Amino acid sequence: MRYAIINPKKQTLRAIDASSFDVALDVAELAEVGRDHGLVTRRVAIVVYEYSLYVPPAEQHYFALEGKLYGGNALLYGVGDAGETIDLTACPEPTFFKSAADVEAAIYLGKVERPVVARDEKVVWKWPDPQPE
Tens of pLDDT, residue by residue over 39-58, are: 999 999 999 999 999 999 99
Under the banding of pLDDT at 50, 70 and 90, the label for residue 133 is: confident
pTM of the predicted model as reported, rounded to 2 decimal places: 0.94
Residue 10 has a CB neighbour count (10 Å cut-off) of 11
Instruction: With H, G, I as helix, E, B as strand and everything else as coil, classify residue 13.
Output: strand
Residue 131 domain-assigned (yes or no): no
Residue 83 domain-assigned (yes or no): yes
Give the number of residues written for the chain: 133
Measured distance CA(22)–CA(20) in Å, rounded: 5
Under the banding of pLDDT at 50, 70 and 90, the label for residue 127 is: very high
Q: Average pLDDT of the chain?
A: 96
Domain count for the chain: 1
Q: Report long-range pairs for 34-40 (Cβ below 8 Å, ≥24 apart).
A: 39/79, 40/65, 40/66, 40/68, 40/76, 40/91, 40/92
Residue 133 domain-assigned (yes or no): no
Measured distance CA(80)–CA(124) in Å, rounded: 35
User: How does pLDDT run across 50-95, given as a tens digit for each residue?
Assistant: 999 999 999 999 999 999 999 999 999 999 999 999 999 999 999 9
Domain enclosing residue 61, as ranges = 2-126
